[in-house]
Amino acid sequence: MTAIRLLLVDDDPLVRAGLAFMMGGAGDIEIVGEAADGGEVEELVERTRPDVVLMDIRMPAVDGITATERLRAREDAPQVVVLTTFHADEQVLRALRAGAAGFVLKDTPPAEIVDAVRRVAAGDPVLSPTVTRQLMAHAAGSTAGARGAHARVRLAALGEREREVAVAVGRGLSNADIATELFMSVATVKAHVSRALAKLGLNNRVQIALLAYDAGLLDEGADGAAGEDRRRGGGQARLPPSG
């Protein structure tokens, strides 16, 4: 099995040392580099070609949000998992909008951080529908109306079936579940997701989910999604893998 190539980015050397020690025990993860600031990330990515970047949000010069935006603009962009102290934080939401595939709290048990890296490398964004709603509620405020209007304009570019698939992605359904619910093949679901990403200028399913939340398309299904979250095990539920 090819090891997952991981780049660690945090301005605190003790945090980096702890992450390196933690990841060193996982035989399928190889740490290919470390950075103390977001400004170092692009050059390191070019040189080390990581599959996943574990990125601190708050850094003194170039923060993790800016670094994530720069990385995700690359054609060969690695996946990004952001590290944060508070889960209901507007900066987390900004990082997800920038293209991060999920986030983990710095006090998350080591095994779960390792699991998050593995899942993101496999194309399974680490983000639960419940946590997404918490983030959206935290960020709601004076700009919510404008953001919702903008999201609805963007989603108008989608065809009817692409829009239905986008809403299902936001509800946390897997491709197989979407196919069953919408009476289409899994291959067709994948095609709709790919076209939606291209039309919207997005790069992962997390961003589709956030756009659907912004547009208010998930309000009616919120209780159902929460129930689905509970059935899947609650706290660390994930959005489904892109494959």
Q: What is the pLDDT along the chain (243 residues), one digit of tens a residue?
A: 689 999 999 999 999 999 999 888 888 999 999 999 999 999 999 999 999 999 999 888 999 999 998 988 888 889 999 888 866 567 888 888 888 888 888 888 888 889 889 988 887 777 655 566 666 665 555 456 677 788 888 999 999 999 999 999 888 787 888 999 999 999 999 999 999 988 998 878 888 888 888 888 876 444 444 334 433 333 333 333 444
Give 80's DSSP letter. E
Q: Report the residue count for the chain.
A: 243
Q: Which has the closest alpha carbon to 56: 98, 88, 97, 103? A: 103
* Rounded Cα distance, 137 and 127, in Å: 15
* Rounded Cα distance, 226 and 231, in Å: 9
Cβ contact 103:87 at 8 Å = yes
* Rounded Cα distance, 151 and 134, in Å: 18
* Tokens found for residue 166: 């986008």
The DSSP bridge partners found for residue 103 are: 82
The DSSP bridge partners found for residue 79 are: 52
* Tokens found for residue 216: 């208010």
